[in-house]
Amino acid sequence: MEQGFGIGKQLDLDLISTSVGYNVSERYIPVQTKEVIKILADQAGFTPVGFDAVNVRKPEKQGFQKHMVMLEEPDADMIDGKLRIVLYNSYDRTTPIKIFLGYYRDACSNDCVWGNDIMEPISIKHTNKDWRQAIDTTVNRYRSAKQSASNNINRMMNTYMSYGDQGRFSEYVASHIYTGSGIIIDPLEFNVAQRQEDLGKDLWHTYQRAQSSLLNGGVNRIIEHGDIKKVSKTHKVTSIDEKIKLNQQLNEFALNFK
């Protein structure tokens, strides 16, 4: 049984096998992570700056499991952070290779994976002999996506948020993004600054406060089971799939907030 993505692993692609995983069909063509990285480096100077991999309980899956690599170009700096390519892959049939754009603030390591309006995530099946064309597409789209992301951040930083606006934003997070049966959360829990860098009365910083609370956990909640009520705190999100899902939901709402 696979566990969630590990925290704080060092960049070590040698943990990932270069062979095909067990129990795969003859049509399976492993798209090697190392080869993708080499092409991105040759074409646009992207270099790996982060690595993570799921923990596994079955020894035979070690080296073939889901793993994630973050890559950064020399000119990645933007307003308040950097735009990076985020790709994850496996060689055991559990996932195709997927490529996203992630925005990383200077103040933290929270990955803000932008919605499909910036760049539609690219998925490459392990049966595709022409997968290199998808990598070319990634490089070609990166520049325009970077400009689009910069424009969005500028707009959000210049959008004033009254206390009522901040409350509406937090209410949406509590009722539409963080959902669970029998869970009660005060929406204002998602408008608490956990870092000095998150202080501000604009849409960008309101968004960052919500994202930090959503991903890092520690939010007070009440869990109801019949007549029994238990007070606890939300957990830190460690699954890369869940991070991407939550970030995309939050980002879509922030970009369209009025």
User: Where exactly are the structural domains of the chain?
Assistant: 13-156, 163-255
**pTM of this prediction?**
0.74
- pLDDT reading at 226 higher than 80: no
Q: Pick 235 or 165 by higher pLDDT.
A: 165
Most confident range, picked from 83-92, 144-153, 204-213: 204-213
| CA proximity to 240, closest of 82, 67, 90, 115 | 67
Please give the average per-residue pLDDT across 211-234, as a whole number: 86
Q: What is the pLDDT of residues 33-51, one digit of tens each?
A: 888 898 899 988 999 888 8
Give CA–CA dist 22/11, Å, rounded. Answer: 25
The pLDDT value given to residue 8: 44
Q: Are 93 and 24 in contact (CB under 8 A)?
A: yes
Residue 199 has a CB neighbour count (10 Å cut-off) of: 10
Give CA–CA dist 79/157, Å, rounded. Answer: 10
Which ranges in the chain belong to alpha helices (H)? 33-44, 131-157, 163-172, 203-216, 240-255
Q: Pick 242 or 57 by higher pLDDT.
A: 242
The pLDDT value given to residue 241: 74
- pLDDT reading at 85 higher than 50: yes
The pLDDT value given to residue 88: 83
The pLDDT value given to residue 12: 59
Lowest mean pLDDT: which of 5-9, 28-32, 180-184, 222-226? 5-9
pLDDT above 90 as % of the chain: 20
Q: What is the pLDDT of residues 141-159, one digit of tens each?
A: 888 888 888 888 999 999 9
Q: What is the pLDDT of residues 91-110, one digit of tens each?
A: 777 778 888 887 887 666 55
- pLDDT reading at 87 higher than 90: no
